[in-house]
Amino acid sequence: MKRFFFLLTSLLIISGALGVRECVYDPRGFTFHCSNNMPGTSIGPGDEGNITIVCCFTERSFQDSDETLPVQVEVKGHWFHRVQNPDGSWNEINDTYPASQWITNVSYPERVKGFESFPVVIEYSLPESSPAYQAGAVIQSRVDIMVVMEGGIVPNNAVYPQIRIPDDWEPGGLIGFFNDLIGNNPEVIAGGAGLILVSALAYSISKKKKKRKRMKQILKNKKA
């Protein structure tokens, strides 16, 4: 199979704060932020590893307090779309795949203190093959990292790990062979199906003739 590589990057979408690697106090009030994972990691089919996201929250009342807040992490479904077109538009594809197909585990502390950074480790393992592997596609997942406040307030950071598949990627082995037949030579498929049908019919007729011949020989032997 032709070797290819993915670029696994983690993009961060947050409100009011940029992704950083240090817990920085913000006098404006409660702030919850997480680091990004640039520049990312190159991985291929069957490879496995992990991404570490560093998060923390700050708020005036937690500055000199031992109080902790619970952490929640949710992995949502991932999808893929083709790479950006020259005109800047995206060619969207609506197929979806479960994130568990390549995110195997997410580990994090159960409770955290304010002003203290804490890690969220996203473990991944790419299968050798997947229906999501298509040339020029982007496979994307969403990991929601949340801390729970009193009164039901749940500040949220959404981290988006991505796998980018090169435009020139082609599946190898039998998968690539059958894809080539279906995608590029539909007449070969039709011809092959016709050949199989003719061969099966010829075999059936030959088998019936041999059976009749044996029955005639048995009857002839009985009369003798």
Q: What CATH code is carried by the domain that includes residue 157?
A: 2.60.40.10
Q: Which residue range(s) make up the domain with 214?
A: 185-223
Q: Which of 169, 195, 211 is the last residue of a domain?
A: 169
Q: Can you tell me which residue has the tokens 């994090």?
A: 108
pLDDT in tens, 113-150: 988 889 999 888 877 777 767 776 666 677 888 988 87
Instruction: Please check whether residues 212 and 116 belong to one and the same domain.
Output: no
DSSP helix/strand/coil, 21: coil
Any domain includes 1: no
Cα–Cα distance, 33 to 117 (Å, whole number): 10
* Structural domain count, the chain: 2
Asked if the model's pLDDT at residue 178 lies above 50, the reply is no
Position 4 scores a pLDDT of 32
**Are the CB atoms for 27 and 183 separated by under 8 Å?**
no
Top-ranked range on mean pLDDT: pick from 49-53, 119-123, 178-182? 119-123
Mean pLDDT within 39-59: 73
Mean pLDDT within 199-207: 58
Question: Sign of the CA dihedral 37, 9, 131, 2?
Answer: negative
**Are the CB atoms for 93 and 59 separated by under 8 Å?**
no
Instruction: Please check whether residues 104 and 214 belong to one and the same domain.
Output: no
Instruction: Please check whether residues 38 and 132 belong to one and the same domain.
Output: yes
Instruction: Please check whether residues 116 and 217 belong to one and the same domain.
Output: no
DSSP helix/strand/coil, 139: strand
Top-ranked range on mean pLDDT: pick from 59-63, 87-91, 94-98? 59-63
Position 170 scores a pLDDT of 74
Position 109 scores a pLDDT of 95
Percent of the chain beyond pLDDT 90? 5
| CA angle, 144 then 84 then 3, to 5° | 85
Position 46 scores a pLDDT of 73
Instruction: Please check whether residues 156 and 198 belong to one and the same domain.
Output: no
Cα–Cα distance, 107 to 124 (Å, whole number): 12
| pTM metric for this prediction | 0.58
Instruction: Please check whether residues 163 and 198 belong to one and the same domain.
Output: no
Position 159 scores a pLDDT of 79
Mean pLDDT of the chain: 66
Instruction: Work out the pLDDT band at 11, boundaries 50, 70, 90.
Output: very low
Instruction: Please check whether residues 106 and 26 belong to one and the same domain.
Output: yes
Mean pLDDT within 179-201: 46
Instruction: Work out the pLDDT band at 153, boundaries 50, 70, 90.
Output: confident
Instruction: Please check whether residues 127 and 200 belong to one and the same domain.
Output: no
Tokens of 78: 């991932």
